[in-house]
Structure 1
């Protein structure tokens, strides 16, 4: 009588099958874990912000140290202002603070006039540019005598170009209805143009009535010092 061949067990019922499966799972898990850890480690290295470099020590002259103390400036801001080429265009407020501006910015060319309006700005800038007197840093202080119009600002920015930096001092004229309109337009202009920066005089001067003359616009000595100090700090950023 022939023997019947033994029925083979399905492979999944055999012990060695499950040993192999368990080994595959273990090895695969370790490999995936290592890869994930490497990826996370790499991500952490990439996303970790670099520490900001410390500003280099600045050695000031005795005269510059006096300026730094008077205007509450850092050595870096003082040194920057001392060497910066600046063209400042403004109205009677700028005329009044010319001594302080020249003390902090000795290389500044100051073009101020009583009663000046915003619509004068493009023509003045064009004339200074034609004479080679429009510096890489242009400071604007207008708005005391009336609000700006977008077309005048657009013409001015076209004259200045995109490479010069414009530092626009906003307005403190609480007695005039156009104060808010002027400051909003200055802010929106800065937001739309990478080379235009707001010097926020309006915010700094709030609640400092003793900085101003009786008209609440023109400056006393303390106000002039704070005004020019703010400009120097903004330009040094």
Structure 2
């Protein structure tokens, strides 16, 4: 009679298989720096991350070095400001700081007016855009003469679009009750729009009475320097 061959056990049920596998893992682990098995099989250990290239040093002209020193700016912030194309829209404060703005931002177009309100902003922005004068960076300085309305801000942002960057300078008008309301609305707008950035003049100017004229709103020379320097630093971030 022919003998029937005994059925073979599946490989995974053979003790010898597991013994050999354990030995391979132990030996393999000792030859690769004793790292945990799950790390050895991780994709991250197989590919080394490339170091980030160091930023190239910025060389300033003699004139730019004077600007950097006067406004307490880094070389990079100074170079960025000198190259940036900017449209600045504001009220009488913007009118007052025109010389400083042009010194730090040579390519700035300033549109300022005494007594300007927030509700003027959408139409002014639309006119500048139609004339091809709305740059990739838009600076807004309004709030001295009254608080904004959400509808005016929405109209303005619709005109600006999502590609331009908006740098919104908040307000220092301690004698007016709308100061907090204005600054809260500017902050909430920045939180909900990625291209809107707060330039926190209100915070920087606290307890700096020497920066202001007697009305506590318009700026002396030191205040104008600090104001424009803060803008350049914020835009360089």
TM-score (norm 1): 0.84
**Partner Cα separation in structure 2 for residue 197 and residue 88 of structure 1:** 14
Partner of 1:79: 79
How far off its partner does 1:27 sit?
Answer: 3.4
Aligned Cα root-mean-square deviation (Å):
2.3
Task: Structure 2: give runs of 5+ residues left out of the alignment.
Answer: 1-13, 30-35
Partner of 2:161: 161
**Partner Cα separation in structure 1 for residue 21 and residue 82 of structure 2:** 70
TM-score (norm 2): 0.84
**Partner Cα separation in structure 1 for residue 92 and residue 187 of structure 2:** 22
Aligned length: 218
Match of 1:27 among 23, 26, 32: 23
Q: Are the counterparts in 1 of residues 210 and 220 from structure 2 also a CA contact under 8 Å?
A: yes
**Partner Cα separation in structure 1 for residue 224 and residue 156 of structure 2:** 26
**Partner Cα separation in structure 1 for residue 117 and residue 27 of structure 2:** 72
Q: Are the counterparts in 1 of residues 211 and 220 from structure 2 also a CA contact under 8 Å?
A: yes
How do 1:1-237 residues align onto structure 2 when only pairs under 5 Å count?
A: 20=16, 23=19, 26-27=22-23, 30=26, 35-39=37-41, 42-43=43-44, 53-237=53-237
**Partner Cα separation in structure 1 for residue 95 and residue 147 of structure 2:** 19
**Partner Cα separation in structure 1 for residue 48 and residue 148 of structure 2:** 44
**Partner Cα separation in structure 1 for residue 211 and residue 47 of structure 2:** 49
Residues 194-221 of structure 1: CA deviation (Å, up to 9, x unaligned): 1111111111111111111111111111
